[in-house]
């Protein structure tokens, strides 16, 4: 499958668990990191001061193969669905050379007002940016 | 909904993220911790030396409300499906007094041989233990 | 050695690293968690809205023995030095039954204004609370 | 100060804590990661099967400035002391462009037999590699 944005994500020593591979929990930190760095860099999200923030309401991962520190991952990101106030990201975690799919997940953000934590319409510039992550 | 096993899980300072609540990634650490502690304590799993280990092949979480350190969670665990070599756990994370459901997830273990990492039949005593987690 | 405050801290599955024991990094999460939960509970620290917050400027740990999930720790806390705007905590991490000292560390907080991040005098009520952690 | 080895280390979303910057605990994960990746890559350490492993017996960090996700760090590594079975690493964490020192730490490994966990003499090839990290 194809992704609209790619990022190389290194693993950390502590990511390996007692079974010698990156623990299943860590894959969600990869998703969170790639999504938010894209939102900050391309979508104009201000995680410290902005009035609109993205809260995770659902996440999912299927694990196909294991990966171990000190390996790096090639993480692909695309948008699967773009709603009024929510967006569904689809993430593919691959070996660094993209030779193998390690894990595949999705992650749903609802954009809310920072103070009230009530859903708000995705601001125009962010919506336009998110549309560039949609893969036909 | 009802669960067969309950555990109180405290949060850590570092679990709170920049938005002031426990980060979505951490909920999977709660699942992993409650499942494995039950497996070690009740299912006889030996995570250091045992020939059979459980690998996570799928996980999922829906987030209904936020929780913040220093709150504790009441985590409920049950088995939703018990296969030949796999098991699907269902986990409900609640406020400590169980007054509110914070998040709900599932987590699928495939039991494999530690060395070959090939699926094996769930050993009899472990299967019997897992059956006690099934809720009708 | 004696401590003024004790807390039981459980480990998590993910805390065990590839060498089968709780990773050295995690001990600092234990310190951070015990210190801040005490500050919130006994010192009146408001980590979300308070105008004064504690920033870590130094931390240290000596590791004497290993501990593994699913073990719990008994963590002792005391104040070793109380300055105008800073405080040095001393932390002893023991087996749950306190039969063995696992690791010993210290951790220095400087209290600052949340906005300017400049050091401020420790507020009176917090200072009084911290004094109760001093062991003669 | 000068370092013998440099590595760029990205931060993760989850590294930021409620105060908006990378939590003090995470700096130790950076140390651990840079040291072990060097040991694996240059020192021939086999973390999964090797008979000799490095256990952390002491770590320390002074925090000079804060850093926030999505910033990257430039981490410098050198050896300050090389003993019969132990080594003291010194680590400097800087902004990515090395314009500012964020934090400075040390970390002591004792090399032990994987099974007995008793100290062993640092193997010749590893010692020779570690000597290249000494800065006069």
Residues D47-84 pLDDT 10s: 999 999 999 999 999 999 999 999 999 999 999 999 99
In which residue are the tokens 């079975």 written? Answer: D85
Q: How confident is the model at residue D34 (pLDDT cuts 50, 70, 90)?
A: very high
| Geometric angle at alpha carbon A43, from D75 and A71, rounded to 5° | 35
What DSSP letter does each residue of D94-124 carry, written as one string? EETTSSSEEEEEEEEEEEEETTT--B-PPPH
Q: Where are the beta strands (DSSP E) in chain C?
A: 5-10, 52-63, 72-82, 86-95, 101-113
User: Please, are residues A108 and A88 in contact by the beta-carbon 8 Å criterion?
Assistant: yes
What would the mean pLDDT of A9-22 be, rounded to a whole number?
97
- Residue D24 to residue C56, Cβ atoms within 8 A: yes
Q: How far is CA C74 from CA C3, C34, C43, C98, D14, in A?
A: 11, 10, 21, 6, 27
Q: What is the mean pLDDT of residues D113-124?
A: 96
Averaged pLDDT for residues D92-119: 97
The model's confidence at residue D136, banded by pLDDT at 50, 70 and 90, is confident
Average pLDDT of chain A is 97
Query: Which band of pLDDT confidence, cut at 50, 70 and 90, is reported for residue A136?
Result: confident
- When pLDDT is cut at 50, 70 and 90, the band that residue D9 belongs to is very high
Q: To the nearest whole angstrom, how far is the Cα of A47 from the nearest Cα of chain D?
A: 9
Per DSSP, D125 falls in state H
CA distance A100 to A102: 6
C16 chain-A contacts, CB cut-off 8 A = 17-18
Q: Which of A29, A48, A69 sits opposite D20 (nearest CB)?
A: A48
Question: Which of B18, B25, B47 is opposite residue A48, by nearest beta carbon?
Answer: B18
Residues facing C92 on adjacent strands: C76, C104
Q: Is residue C82 within 8 Å of residue C131, measured between CB atoms? A: yes
Query: Are B52 and B114 within 8 A, CB to CB?
Result: yes
Across residues C30-46, what is the average pLDDT? 96
Q: How far apart are CA A58 and CA A106, in angstroms?
A: 8
Query: Chain D contact for A66, CB < 8 A?
Result: no
Q: For chain B, what is the mean pLDDT?
A: 97
State the pLDDT confidence band at B50, using cuts at 50, 70 and 90. Answer: very high
As a whole number, the mean pLDDT across chain C is 97
Question: Given the structure tokens 């409920």, which residue do they identify?
Answer: B76
Mean pLDDT of B83-102: 98
D26: chain B residues, CB-CB within 8 Å = 14
Which pLDDT does position A6 carry in this prediction? Answer: 98
Interval C7-22 mean pLDDT: 97
For chain A, positions 20-59, list CB contacts with chain C under 8 A: 20, 23, 25
Write down the pLDDT at residue C40.
97
Q: Which uninterrupted H or E stretch holds B85?
A: none
pLDDT of C110 above 90: yes
Question: How far is A36 from A94, CA to CA, in rounded Å?
Answer: 19
What ipTM was estimated for this complex? 0.96
| Per-residue model confidence (pLDDT) at position A31 | 98
In order of start, what are the domains of chain D with their CATH numbers? 5-131 (3.10.129.10)
Contacts of B among chains (3+ CB pairs under 8 A)? A, C, D
Residue B68 has pLDDT above 90, yes or no: yes
Angle at D120 between CA D116 and CA D121, to 5 degrees: 170
Partners of residue D18 in chain B, C-beta under 8 Å: 16-18, 20
Residue in A closest to C15 by C-alpha: A17
Binned at pLDDT 50, 70 and 90, residue B136 comes out as confident
């Amino acid at each position: 499958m194809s992704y609209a944005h790619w990022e190389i994500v290194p693993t950390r020593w502590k990511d390996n668990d007692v079974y010698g591979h990156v623990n299943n929990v860590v894959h969600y930190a990869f998703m969170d990191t790639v999504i938010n760095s894209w939102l900050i860099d391309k979508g104009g999200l201000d995680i410290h001061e902005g009035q609109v923030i993205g809260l995770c309401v659902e996440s999912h991962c299927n694990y196909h193969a294991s990966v171990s520190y000190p390996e790096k991952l090639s993480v692909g990101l695309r948008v699967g669905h773009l709603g009024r106030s929510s967006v569904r990201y689809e993430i593919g975690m691959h070996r660094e050379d993209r030779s193998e799919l390690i894990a595949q997940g999705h992650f749903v953000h609802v954009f809310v007002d920072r103070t009230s934590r009530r859903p708000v319409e995705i601001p125009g510039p962010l919506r336009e940016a998110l549309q560039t992550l949609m893969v036909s």
